[in-house]
Amino acid sequence: MRANRLLWLLLFLSSGTRLLAGQSAVAASLRSLQAVALAQAAAKEPAGGLTMSPSSLSFGNEQLNSPTAPQFITITNPGKSSFMIREIASSSPDFTLVHNCASSPDPMPARSSCEISVRFAPGAVGLRSGNIRITIDGDRPVQPLVIPLQGNGVQNGVTLSQTYLIFRTLLVGMTSMPQYVRLTNHSSTAPAKIVSIAVSPDFSLTTTADQCVTGLALAPLAGCTLAVVWTPTDSGSRDGQVTIGASDAEPPQVIDLHATATAIRLSSGTLRWSPTAVGVVGDSQSIEVRNEGRTSIEVGSVDASGDFYQQNNCGKELTQHQSCSVTVWFQPAAAGERVGTLLIHDSDVMGMQQVFLTGVGSLLDLSPVMVDFGTQSAESTSAPQVVTIANRGSANVSITAINVSGDFVVPGKTCGDTIVPGKSCQVSISFSPTVTGIRTGTLSIETSTGTIPRKVALSGTGQ
């Protein structure tokens, strides 16, 4: 009996071992099939997980060979890994692309996006279709991302030379240069009458030769011109249209318009300093920052770079027609031309205003830089006044010439051919007016470096 039980136990253990082995084999097979399925799914995954919005574009009816306003598609990489885009291409010449997407050899970073601008210019009448194809480089096969495109080419009897105009960014209240569009009657037998012209706000038509006007009858094969201008009343981007209705049964002709206006006016776009001694703070210069718009503008920061620094009273906001001032100083760190920028970050549509800063650093420091001799009798000579010339640099400065102009003379000087670092010399100047009235002149010091001569302004009045 005990032997039978022992035999039964051995048989049970043997069967269980085979059962467990079978289950392991099945599990391994399932894992293998699952891996194959995942690999196949990955191979069929379009563009490695990139997404697009919208997923297709339709342009509707468009005049033959006339480009539409652009439509935009946003491509997003929502994952945690970068992608290497090999190519973004249109399958049809009817659709043209411009994009800012990173492409090989630069990867598209994780959690980033870019835009594709698409315009439709039908090359033939009828339904036109194509697609955008985005291909990805990688270690495994990835299906390209395909974005369908569609539009309809039409040939109207009355056509426009352009159907989309973009205007340069303009200051509020100013008027742009005109842009011209030609309206043509292609019929060789029938006239075409313009029954209406409508223009969106902030855009208008200005007078031009053979101007299109309401009521004008275009003879067969004749045309007229539309001159479109942009006069913004407030800051921001604007989209508008010029719509021309003709007497025929065709739909109205439409010119799409796009423009951007800034409300920030700067009193100057450039500040320049005359030669200033190294390490010495030059005279200050100021610019006015004014909000010409009807909407308040937030001021984020004002920064000066290079050998320049600034102070301002702009605060955090400029309300309608409010202005503030920014004062800039120049303190050259070295001799020669020095450049920098003044950046004003704000909520205006431009996002940032920029002023170019430039000055010249000099090893020589002149004191004073302006001498007024007051009143002096004509044909007489005043007592001398002294100008000190100091070398603020770390190298010798060779003086090649000391000249004076106007009714002024140099009765004496202690300057030799060279001024060593940390040393100075003096030039004495007298005023000798030849006639009555205000007289001006200049003391000019030239050096062997070939830089701009250092100058002292001289003035006096003869009596």
pLDDT of residue 214: 95
The pLDDT profile of the chain, 463 residues, written as one tens digit per residue, is 444 443 343 334 444 444 334 444 434 443 443 443 333 433 334 556 889 999 999 998 888 888 888 999 999 999 888 888 999 999 999 999 999 998 888 899 999 999 999 999 999 999 999 999 999 887 677 788 999 999 999 887 888 998 999 999 999 999 999 999 999 998 888 899 999 999 999 999 999 999 999 999 999 999 999 999 999 999 999 999 999 998 766 789 999 999 999 999 999 999 999 889 998 898 899 999 999 999 999 999 999 999 999 999 999 999 999 999 999 999 999 988 999 999 999 999 999 999 999 999 999 999 999 999 999 999 999 999 999 999 988 889 999 999 999 999 999 999 999 999 999 999 999 999 999 999 999 999 998 876 778 999 999 999 9
Compute, in degrees rounded to 10, the torsion defined by CA atoms 14, 15, 18, 20.
Answer: -110
pTM: 0.63
Do the beta carbons of residue 158 and residue 251 sit within 8 Å? Answer: no
Cis before 105 (ω within 30): yes
Six token digits for residue 42: 């990955």
At CB < 8 A and 24+ separation, what contacts does 368-374 make? Answer: 368/456, 369/455, 369/456, 369/457, 370/456, 370/457, 370/458, 370/459, 371/429, 371/443, 371/456, 371/457, 371/458, 371/459, 372/459, 372/460, 373/431, 373/458, 373/459, 373/460, 374/460, 374/461
Task: Enter the DSSP assignment of 352.
Answer: E
Residues 446 and 143: their CA atoms lie apart, in Å, by 71
For the chain, domains (ranges, CATH) are 47-154 (2.60.40.10), 158-262 (2.60.40.10), 264-362 (2.60.40.10), 364-462 (2.60.40.10)
Number of helices (H) and strands (E) in the chain: give both, helices first. Answer: 1, 37
The two three-digit tokens of residue 380, written as one number: 């007489």
In the prediction, which pLDDT does 73 show?
A: 96
Distance, CA of 48 to CA of 36 (rounded, Å): 17
Q: The tokens of 99 are what?
A: 């994009």
- Alpha-carbon distance of 356 to 360, in angstroms, equals 14
Task: Give the per-residue pLDDT at 249.
Answer: 63
> What pLDDT was estimated at residue 26?
37
* pLDDT for 49: 81
Q: Cα–Cα distance between 241 and 88 in angstroms, integer? A: 31
Name 34's Cβ contacts closer than 8 Å, sequence gap at least 6: none
For 297, other C-beta atoms within 10 Å of its C-beta total 22
What distances in angstroms separate CA 277 from CA 360, 403, 408, 458, one per listed residue? 9, 19, 25, 19
| Residue 288: both structure tokens together | 């006015």
Greatest CA separation for the chain: 152
- 98 Cα distance to chain centroid: 17
Q: How far apart are CA 254 and CA 256, in angstroms?
A: 6
3-state secondary structure 260-323: EEECEEECCCEEECCCEECCCCCCCEEEEEEECCCCCEEEEEEEECCCEEEEECCCCEECCCCE
